[in-house]
């Protein structure tokens, strides 16, 4: 922290045109808390300006102020040098401010096209002119390489495609100030590269981009300048060319963070998970979403399934954990016992822990309190119920224990409604619940999705600790950094099949990328001996 605030800040020269957006000395208070404390953000035309900070640093609040969702107590907003008053999102839209939210704002049962034109539907006398809109959307999606199917329903498409829909939504509205709220959280390396390319292209065309992120690599790659917030305070604005990744990280966290995961070599033991010939029908197309996959995970090792989003990983996990049915002929054994046809409850109580991909959809009952969520799979156990009545005192005790052990932070402790917790702490609560349950196998799906550096570090440590205690870990991740850092063995899944097995020590990200994109396959090369 010592030298970070004194890093050089480029002031706009007298010849520079006025900032396209300038937020001056914004202070936003909530009862008892100052979420934004005298924060200044200056966005130049045609620049990519990163807004860096951990979860809860005040980025979202600041953006909500810019979007008119909150009114700041102090501070002013200028657009092109003129003071503006933004009272609601409509004002922001009128000023050309568009945003891709971290949690997408899409209508599930509408098509991609319908979502894009929603609110600005081209019409003649009230009749939709979808043809024009469609043409424009296709043009935009081609120009920017945002591959979407305009007629697919949003509920049927992958998270990645949903995000591209969101980006198209902004482009379709001709917004000139584009806010990306952690846009890469769900993308593959290739997609991220592509997105970076798109962002640079947009900036070159004169659009101004606010890029909210805590991924330092991406900021280093794409951003021109970076404003760092920590705990609601303004830490500084720096030119990316003048700083290193470590500088930024120190500014953001206030201490030095290690990027690599400390772990010893794996000591694989007995086979804990044995999957044989697992196939699952696809809901979207006629082919199998997962086709004849066989793999083993031993105790004491972390096996990672890498792959681009939508290549069958979600379906694979759903079948593994029992959320979906596998095709006949599939066999899943847990610690030597055939559990293919067993219920989710049976698997839960016989050693399978599952950190789900979507913490809001599966992981939590958002309207339950933290403590009720902590016992989501255990409420019926002897410790927590007596004659059918939940022993809330024991639940409370247990929840407090886990909160302490896993450092889950929330406003009202065990009684906080899960809905009002931050994403990082929601995830921590799930991790706490899953890791504290007795387990022989941990299935962790994107356990660090959308989390900040500090939380990622913590979760990685916990997963490694679980491995070292003898648990088998099956990790499904889209983040190659995570894959390379955490796993002891890497499997690449492409179009529902395992196309390669790698040792993270000897392979490279580039090689994995080739397999993930389907350009290479070990099965093709070696005649299928890796899949047997």
Considering only residues 79-138, where is the footprint of another protein by CB under 8 A?
A: 103-106, 108-109
CA dist., res. 21 & res. 106, Å (int): 27
CA dist., res. 298 & res. 196, Å (int): 38
Nearer to another protein, 425 or 487 (CB): 425
Taking Cα atoms as reference points, which of 336, 337, 335, 339 lies closest to residue 326? 339
Residues within window 492-521 making contact with another protein, judged by CB under 8 A? none
3-state secondary structure string across 243-282: CCHHHHHHHHHCCCCCCCCCCCCCCCCCEEEEEEEEEEEC
Number of shown-chain residues binding another protein (CB under 8 A): 74
Smallest gap, in angstroms, from Cβ of residue 313 to another protein?
A: 17
Query: Within 13 Å of residue 367, how many CA atoms lie on the same side as its CB?
Result: 0
Smallest gap, in angstroms, from Cβ of residue 347 to another protein?
A: 8
User: Token digits for 187?
Assistant: 């993308």
Nearer to another protein, 259 or 346 (CB): 346
- For strand 82-84 and strand 74-79, is the pairing parallel, antiparallel, or unpaired? antiparallel
3-state secondary structure string across 278-309: EEEECCCCCCEEEEEEEEEEECCCEEEEECCC
For residue 84, what is the DSSP state? E
Q: Binding of another protein at residue 284 (CB under 8 A)?
A: no
Sole residue written with tokens 């995961």: 261
Of 142, 197, 270, 380, which one interacts with another protein (CB under 8 A)? Answer: 380
Smallest gap, in angstroms, from Cβ of residue 323 to another protein?
A: 6
Of 45, 134, 281, 396, which one interacts with another protein (CB under 8 A)? Answer: 396
Span near another protein by CB under 8 A; candidates 45-53, 170-178, 201-209, 373-381: 373-381
Q: Binding of another protein at residue 369 (CB under 8 A)?
A: yes
User: Token digits for 447?
Assistant: 């356990």
Q: Binding of another protein at residue 446 (CB under 8 A)?
A: no
Nearer to another protein, 322 or 504 (CB): 322
Residues within window 242-271 making contact with another protein, judged by CB under 8 A? 254
Answer yes or no: are the C-beta atoms of 485 and 302 closer than 8 Å.
no
For residue 357, what is the DSSP state? S
Residue 434's contacts (CB-CB under 8 Å, 6 or more residues apart) are: 353, 354, 355, 442, 444
Helix (H) or strand (E) holding 447: none
CA dist., res. 360 & res. 355, Å (int): 12
Span near another protein by CB under 8 A; candidates 175-183, 414-422, 491-499, 507-515: 414-422
Nearer to another protein, 357 or 488 (CB): 357
Nearer to another protein, 60 or 175 (CB): 60
Answer yes or no: are the C-beta atoms of 282 and 289 closer than 8 Å.
yes
Nearer to another protein, 331 or 391 (CB): 391
Sole residue written with tokens 């480029």: 10
Binding flags for another protein, 289-318, as an x/- string (CB under 8 A):
------------------------------
Of 94, 270, 284, 344, which one interacts with another protein (CB under 8 A)? Answer: 344
User: Token digits for 110?
Assistant: 């509408």
How many degrees, rounded to 5, is the angle at CA 334 between CA 279 and CA 351?
125
Residues within window 416-445 making contact with another protein, judged by CB under 8 A? 416-417, 419-422, 424-425
Binding flags for another protein, 191-230, as an x/- string (CB under 8 A):
---------------------------------------x
- For strand 127-128 and strand 331-334, is the pairing parallel, antiparallel, or unpaired? unpaired
Of 84, 365, 401, 517, which one interacts with another protein (CB under 8 A)? Answer: 365
Answer yes or no: are the C-beta atoms of 71 and 77 closer than 8 Å.
no
Of 270, 284, 415, 465, which one interacts with another protein (CB under 8 A)? Answer: 415
Span near another protein by CB under 8 A; candidates 13-21, 183-191, 353-361, 471-479: 353-361
Alpha helices in 109-152 (DSSP H): 112-117, 130-143
Nearer to another protein, 130 or 362 (CB): 362
Nearer to another protein, 312 or 424 (CB): 424
Nearer to another protein, 88 or 174 (CB): 88
Q: Binding of another protein at residue 349 (CB under 8 A)?
A: yes
Nearer to another protein, 53 or 500 (CB): 53
Residue 41's contacts (CB-CB under 8 Å, 6 or more residues apart) are: 21, 22, 23, 26, 49, 51, 62, 227, 237
Q: Is 521 exposed, middle or buried (0-12, 13-18, 19+ CB in 10 A)?
A: buried
Smallest gap, in angstroms, from Cβ of residue 245 to another protein?
A: 22
Smallest gap, in angstroms, from Cβ of residue 326 to another protein?
A: 16
Q: Binding of another protein at residue 37 (CB under 8 A)?
A: yes
Nearer to another protein, 62 or 222 (CB): 62
Residues within window 152-191 making contact with another protein, judged by CB under 8 A? 155
Of 7, 9, 34, 271, which one interacts with another protein (CB under 8 A)? Answer: 34
Nearer to another protein, 76 or 404 (CB): 404
Taking Cα atoms as reference points, which of 431, 462, 458, 457 lies closest to residue 354? 431
Smallest gap, in angstroms, from Cβ of residue 340 to another protein?
A: 16
Nearer to another protein, 24 or 391 (CB): 391
CA dist., res. 146 & res. 125, Å (int): 31
Smallest gap, in angstroms, from Cβ of residue 360 to another protein?
A: 5
Q: Is 289 exposed, middle or buried (0-12, 13-18, 19+ CB in 10 A)?
A: buried
Residues within window 42-81 making contact with another protein, judged by CB under 8 A? 55-56, 58, 60-61, 70
């Amino acid at each position: 922290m010592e030298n970070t605030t004194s890093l050089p800040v480029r002031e706009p020269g007298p010849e520079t045109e006025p900032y396209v957006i300038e937020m001056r000395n914004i202070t936003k208070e909530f009862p008892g808390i100052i979420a934004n404390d005298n924060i200044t953000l200056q966005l130049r035309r045609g620049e990519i300006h990163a807004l860096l900070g951990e979860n809860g640093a005040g980025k979202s609040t600041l953006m909500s102020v810019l979007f008119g969702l909150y009114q700041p107590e102090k501070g002013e907003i200028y657009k092109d040098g003129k003071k503006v008053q933004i009272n609601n999102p409509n004002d922001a839209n009128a000023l050309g401010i568009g945003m891709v939210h971290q949690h997408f704002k899409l209508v599930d049962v509408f098509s991609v096209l319908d979502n894009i034109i929603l609110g600005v539907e081209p019409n003649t006398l009230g009749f939709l002119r979808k043809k024009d809109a469609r043409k424009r959307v296709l043009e935009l999606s081609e120009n920017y390489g945002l591959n979407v199917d305009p007629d697919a329903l949003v509920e049927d498409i992958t998270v990645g495609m949903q995000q591209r829909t969101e980006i198209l939504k902004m482009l379709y509205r001709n917004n000139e100030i584009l806010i990306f709220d952690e846009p890469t959280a769900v993308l593959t390396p290739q997609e991220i590269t592509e997105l970076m390319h798109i962002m640079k292209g947009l900036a070159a065309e004169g659009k101004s981009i606010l890029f909210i992120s805590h991924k330092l690599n991406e900021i280093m790659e794409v951003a021109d300048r970076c404003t760092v917030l920590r705990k609601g305070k303004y830490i500084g604005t720096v030119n990316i060319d003048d700083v290193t990744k470590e500088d930024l990280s120190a500014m953001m966290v206030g201490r030095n963070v290690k990027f690599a995961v400390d772990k010893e070599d794996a000591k694989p033991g007995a086979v804990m998970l044995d999957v044989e010939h697992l196939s699952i029908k696809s809901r979207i197309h006629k082919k199998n979403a997962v086709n004849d996959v066989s793999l083993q995970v031993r105790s004491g090792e972390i096996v990672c399934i890498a792959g681009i989003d939508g290549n069958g990983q979600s379906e694979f996990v759903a079948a593994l954990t029992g959320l979906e049915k596998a095709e006949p002929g599939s066999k899943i054994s847990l610690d030597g016992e055939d559990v293919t046809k067993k219920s989710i409850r049976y698997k839960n109580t016989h050693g399978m822990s599952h950190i789900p991909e979507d913490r809001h959809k599966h992981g939590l009952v958002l309207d339950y309190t933290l403590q009720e969520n902590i016992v989501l799979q255990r409420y019926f156990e002897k410790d927590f119920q007596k004659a059918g009545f939940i022993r809330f005192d024991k639940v409370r005790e247990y929840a407090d224990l886990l909160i302490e052990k896993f450092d889950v932070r929330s406003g009202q402790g065990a009684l906080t409604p899960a809905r009002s917790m931050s994403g990082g702490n929601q995830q921590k609560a799930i991790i706490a619940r899953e890791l504290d349950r007795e387990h022989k196998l941990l299935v962790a799906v994107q356990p660090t999705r959308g989390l900040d550096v500090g939380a990622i570090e913590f979760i990685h440590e916990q997963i490694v600790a679980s491995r070292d205690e003898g648990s088998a870990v099956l990790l499904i991740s889209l983040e190659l950094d995570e894959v390379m850092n955490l796993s002891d063995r890497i499997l690449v899944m492409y179009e529902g099949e395992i196309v390669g097995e790698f040792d993270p020590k000897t392979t490279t990200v580039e090689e994995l990328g080739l397999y993930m994109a389907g350009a290479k396959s070990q099965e093709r090369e070696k005649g299928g001996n890796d899949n047997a």
